[in-house]
């Protein structure tokens, strides 16, 4: 990877041996390993047994999980907030694990649409809840820095599975709770 970065620097007209760029190939390689670490992670491993029996059948929501990912079309970042809700069916998951599951999929080259579906699908598979809802709101640098250069646009995607898809009242409750600002 480092040699490829050196070539890229030369190709754009830079001198990879210039003082400020000498260590850039190493830094870029390390950054990409971090930014794409999701390829080396499995959902079961990040859950690490933190699924617990619980007689809970009401909606559980974690809002405003920060996500950072890379657009697979331009290799530019997109970032924003992920909201996850589920209705347990006898099992709950450690709250931090929801953010970790989102990161497993966000830290890969992605489409926001696929990212949303992968998070929801993983939760359905691992918890087998009555339903799952995932909403992601993100800004895409491929739209902000290049192309149409629209600074204030953001994309919203949602995946509704189980009761979140089948029952309008469940879906509506989830979306209404996302609108609340969380202050008391």
66 in active site: no
For the chain, the structural domain boundaries read: 2-35, 46-179
Q: Of these residues, 72, 113, 125, 128, which one is catalytic?
A: 72
Per-residue model confidence as pLDDT tens digits over 139-151: 999 999 988 988 8
57 is catalytic: no
Does the pLDDT of residue 184 top 60, yes or no? no
Question: How does the average pLDDT of the chain come out, rounded?
Answer: 96
Out of 2, 74, 126, 167, the active site residue is 74
Assess whether 74 carries a catalytic annotation: yes
- Is 82 annotated in the active site? no
Active-site hit among 82, 83, 110, 112: 112
- Is 58 annotated in the active site? no
Whole-angstrom CA distances from 85 to 6, 56, 158, 172 are: 44, 14, 11, 12
Out of 83, 110, 118, 140, pick the active-site residue. Answer: 140
Q: Which fold has domain 46-179?
A: GTP Cyclohydrolase I, domain 2 (3.30.1130)
When pLDDT is cut at 50, 70 and 90, the band that residue 83 belongs to is: very high
Catalytic residue among 41, 137, 142, 167: 142
Tens of pLDDT along 114-144? 999 999 999 999 999 999 999 999 999 999 9
Active site residue 112: yes
Query: Would you say 116 and 158 are in contact if contact means Cβ atoms under 8 Å apart?
Result: yes
Catalytic residue among 30, 33, 57, 73: 73
Share of the chain above pLDDT 70, in %: 98
37-66, pLDDT tens digit by residue?
999 999 999 999 999 999 999 999 999 999
pTM, two decimal places: 0.94
Look at residue 35 in the predicted model and tell me its pLDDT. Answer: 97
Of 160, 169, 103, give the one whose Cα is nearest residue 129: 160
Q: Which two tokens stand for residue 121?
A: 């699908």
Rounded to an integer, what distance in angstroms lies between the CA atom of residue 160 and that of residue 153? 23
The predicted pLDDT at position 180 comes to 81
DSSP 79: E
Active site residue 179: no
> β-strand 91-93 against 155-162: which pairing, if any?
unpaired
């Amino acid at each position: 990877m480092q040699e490829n970065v050196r070539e890229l620097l030369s190709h754009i007209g830079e001198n990879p041996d210039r003082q400020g760029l000498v260590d850039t190939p190493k830094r870029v390689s390390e950054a990409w390993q971090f930014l794409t670490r999701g390829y080396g992670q499995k959902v079961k491993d990040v859950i690490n047994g933190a699924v617990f029996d619980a007689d809970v059948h009401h909606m559980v929501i974690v809002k405003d999980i920060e996500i950072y990912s890379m657009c697979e079309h331009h290799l530019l970042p997109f970032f924003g907030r992920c909201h996850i809700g589920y209705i347990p069916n006898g099992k709950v998951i450690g709250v931090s694990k929801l953010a970790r599951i989102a990161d497993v999929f966000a830290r890969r080259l992605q489409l926001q649409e696929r990212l949303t579906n992968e998070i929801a699908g993983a939760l359905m598979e691992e918890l087998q809840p009555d339903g799952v809802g995932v909403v992601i709101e993100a800004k895409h640098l491929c739209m902000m820095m290049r192309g149409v250069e629209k600074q204030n646009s953001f994309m919203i995607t949602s995946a509704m599975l189980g009761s979140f898809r089948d029952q309008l009242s469940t879906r509506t409750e989830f979306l209404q709770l996302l609108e609340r600002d969380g202050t008391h």
